[in-house]
Structure 1
Amino acid sequence: MQVDYLIIGQGICGTFLSHELHQAGKKILVIDESQPFSSTKVASGVINPVTGRQVSTTWMAEELMSFTWQAYTHIGNTIGSNIIQNCGILAFPPSQQMREAYDGKMNDTPAFIHPVAATTVQEYIPLFHFFHGAVHIQPAYHIDLHTLLKGWRHQLLTQNSLLEESFDATLLQLHHDRVIYKDIQAEKIIFCNGTNTFQHPLWQKLPYSLNKGEALIADIPDLPPNQIYKFGITTLVPWYDGLWWVGSTYDNRFEDALPTEIFLKKKSAELASLVKCPYTIVDHIASIRPATVERRPFVGFHPQQPAAGIFNGMGTKGCSLAPYFAHQLAQHLTQNTPTTPAADVKRFGSLLSLS
């Protein structure tokens, strides 16, 4: 079998890269073993343009917010589903200091923080415990990740572009101008398979970190589902079947990928202190995601093995970074345009040359 590009993994990175290359008329093959608790499937699906206690604007926020809306709308049209919502985030500052940080950002350009009318704040008194008012983060998007992954997977199967099995790196043969895997030949291979990418000798030297995320799934029937609600580090996000995602953590000192009793107790107590209306915790999920130490993704090709590429390390910002850099990487492959230097994996050329 001859293809242009072999893509390993169909998380959010593999999904958008394979979509971009398919749109460019390239023949692709995605190798992916379905996993119910991959990092993408456990993620909240929130695209938030601000972050942290200082309410800092995220890297490339203005450009990314515009691009992601178009990208998710486009791929949604391809799979016949509306997968992006501009629902905004209603943030309840947990302290006066945090409130002042939000207020100080309202006059920024572009402005992502906006005031909330007193009458609107009053409407949430029966639902939540809060003491420092509320602000609105807008635009902020919510992505239906499950529908996205399932819908594009169906498209790949229809196009005979998906091999549903575990990738066996020991069977990969790398040459300067091509790769061979079993009976498949391709011009290049791109690793998009999350934490497994860094088990390959080509990428082990990269400065990555593995972070474990956990979340509760709760049934909160009285909570209006048209908003994302944020209380400091705890966020309530509309999930599936009327449920709510409540999380999350960023633990880099974990023993395994399983949900922990410590998180369950801590987040349950936080939820009880925040929500006044009746609710029931129905599930507890966890997954491990790769991130970069400097919070910039790995995009591009190995300096010593130009047929091998990587598209990974999105961390908690995968929903906003993956569509943008998938487009850049596809443009690089098809039109030889450069990728953003801060994301190009060649910035670690000295480390990769030791692989």
Structure 2
Amino acid sequence: MMKVTEKNIANRETDFLIVGQGLAGTMLAFELHRRGKNFVVVDSPSGEKVSRVAAGIINPVVFRRLTKSWLVDDLFPVLKDTYHELEKLLSCHLLHTLKINKILGKEEGSFWRTKTVENKLEAYIHTEPNTYFSKNGIVAPYGVGKVFNAFRADLPMLIDRFREFLIQEDRFIGKEVDTKDVITENEKVQWKNIAAQKIIFCQGFRASDNPFFQPVKFKHTKGQVLDLNIPDLEITNMVNKGMFVLPLGENRFRAGATYRWEFQDTNPDDEATAELTGKMEKIVKVPYSITGKRAGIRPTTHDRRPVVGLHPDTPEIGIFNGLGSKGAMLAPFFAREFARLLCGESDTIHPEVNLLRYYGKK
């Protein structure tokens, strides 16, 4: 089908106009597609997306305290269903099973055993650490704790394939959206030649500049990863100790990630590279070469929770943002919850992510 342009969408009407086709916009569009809704996605063809940088790691455990990730028992069934449905739609493999070896310190073995039972983690990790772990090139003198129920989502492939799908369906516009062009009247919203019931902003870190959501307390973080070639590193599972080293096959690895709350741009920088290579030297003891450096800005809020919902004074305008470093795990669940609200299947949003928390309302 023909790509949607301003010329061929004159006076077009739709149920929903989604601004942004990163992870949030893609997942929300997919949920609306599953419900047979009419929608259009508009996004800059050259827009920077942290989804293209993120490794897409879905880890059910917070290693620092050895607790479950927030809402993981609810998130996992939805994310498995969603990624598998997307795989069918897009004819590609998106969700890869992942095992994680957490390199333990001298006193961490007993902590691992105790917390696994205390925090009911048996569905995700092995109770007993592997004290005999030995892989050429990896330093783990006190063994590893093993996470057996984790995943890696191929987010760049998801974004690219879903964009192709949108273009084929005549539902994509490659344009920047200036909020000055967004007009609300008669319980509808107008942007250029498109009239919609609602416009949903999924702009990533650019949401900070959106005048419709100024009360939202964004606190974005910059992250950097390295692409590596390590011929002598004999691991097939991810290792983690203050950073991750993820095998991608054929001697290729990805390592990361940094977290910076103060930054000037989205470019990789030497300071972040030095931080990662310094941590690498404590884990990997074989030669490696850096084949690439990538950085992006994670859309994050002050309380590290997503922000989802409709504007309390102008419900024709909504937002789906703030997925942060766990976006691959959070996006499917909250996209489905938001779609249920938008389609009249539900009248609630989880209170910890609800946009109304920034407006003093519940």
Q: Above 0.5 in TM-score?
A: yes
1:295 alignment partner in structure 2? 304
Q: Deviations over 1:6-49 (max 9, x none)?
A: 00111111001001101111111111113474111111100011
Whether the 8 Å CA contact 1:21–1:28 is kept in 2: the answer is yes
2:84 alignment partner in structure 1? 73
SS at match of 2:343: helix
SS at match of 2:359: helix
SS at match of 1:88: strand
Whether the 8 Å CA contact 2:138–2:233 is kept in 1: the answer is no
Whether the 8 Å CA contact 2:112–2:129 is kept in 1: the answer is no
How is 1:15-54 mapped onto 2 (pairs within 5 angstroms)?
15-35=26-46, 37-54=48-65
Structure 1 position 174 matched with structure 2 position 180: no
State the AA in 2 paired with 1:149.
Answer: I
Q: Structure 1 residues 252 and 69 mapped into 2: Cα distance closer, same or farther (>3 Å)?
A: same
Q: Structure 1 residues 341 and 176 mapped into 2: Cα distance closer, same or farther (>3 Å)?
A: farther
How is 1:246-261 mapped onto 2 (pairs within 5 angstroms)?
246-261=255-270
**Unpaired runs of at least 5, structure 2:** 1-11
Q: Deviations over 1:247-277 (max 9, x none)?
A: 1111102222221111112212322332123
How is 1:231-246 mapped onto 2 (pairs within 5 angstroms)?
231=241, 233-239=242-248, 243-246=252-255
Whether the 8 Å CA contact 1:88–1:140 is kept in 2: the answer is yes
Question: 1:131 offset after TM fit, Å?
Answer: 2.2
Question: 1:118 offset after TM fit, Å?
Answer: 4.9
Structure 1 position 158 matched with structure 2 position 168: yes
Deviates more, 1:33-42 or 1:315-324: 33-42
Q: Structure 1 residues 225 and 166 mapped into 2: Cα distance closer, same or farther (>3 Å)?
A: farther
SS at match of 2:15: strand
Question: 1:240 offset after TM fit, Å?
Answer: 7.9
**How many equivalent residue pairs?**
347
Question: 1:220 offset after TM fit, Å?
Answer: 1.9
2:150 alignment partner in structure 1? 140
1:62 alignment partner in structure 2? 73
Q: Deviations over 1:172-226 (max 9, x none)?
A: 1123511100001100000101011221111121122011001111112344564
CA RMSD of aligned residues (A): 2.0
Structure 1 position 283 matched with structure 2 position 295: no
Structure 1 position 113 matched with structure 2 position 122: no
Whether the 8 Å CA contact 1:55–1:102 is kept in 2: the answer is yes
Q: Structure 1 residues 275 and 7 mapped into 2: Cα distance closer, same or farther (>3 Å)?
A: same
Q: Deviations over 1:73-130 (max 9, x none)?
A: 111111001110122211112x2344443232222424222135455x13x1x22112
Q: C-alpha distance in 1, partners of 2:189/2:55?
A: 35
State the AA in 2 paired with 1:73.
Answer: H
Q: C-alpha distance in 2, partners of 1:176/1:245?
A: 50
State the AA in 2 paired with 1:78.
Answer: L
| Partner of residue 240 from structure 2, selected from 224, 230, 248 | 230
Question: 1:351 offset after TM fit, Å?
Answer: 8.5
Structure 1 position 332 matched with structure 2 position 328: no
Q: C-alpha distance in 1, partners of 2:352/2:218?
A: 15
Question: 1:279 offset after TM fit, Å?
Answer: 1.9
| Partner of residue 127 from structure 1, selected from 113, 137, 140 | 137
Q: C-alpha distance in 1, partners of 2:153/2:73?
A: 18
**Unpaired runs of at least 5, structure 1:** none
State the AA in 1 paired with 2:17.
Answer: L
Q: Structure 1 residues 98 and 334 mapped into 2: Cα distance closer, same or farther (>3 Å)?
A: same
Q: C-alpha distance in 1, partners of 2:221/2:275?
A: 18
TM-score by length of 2: 0.90
Q: Structure 1 residues 165 and 195 mapped into 2: Cα distance closer, same or farther (>3 Å)?
A: same
2:3 alignment partner in structure 1? none
Deviates more, 1:258-267 or 1:21-30: 258-267
1:14 alignment partner in structure 2? 25
Q: Structure 1 residues 297 and 135 mapped into 2: Cα distance closer, same or farther (>3 Å)?
A: same
Deviates more, 1:43-52 or 1:319-328: 43-52
Q: C-alpha distance in 1, partners of 2:349/2:173?
A: 28
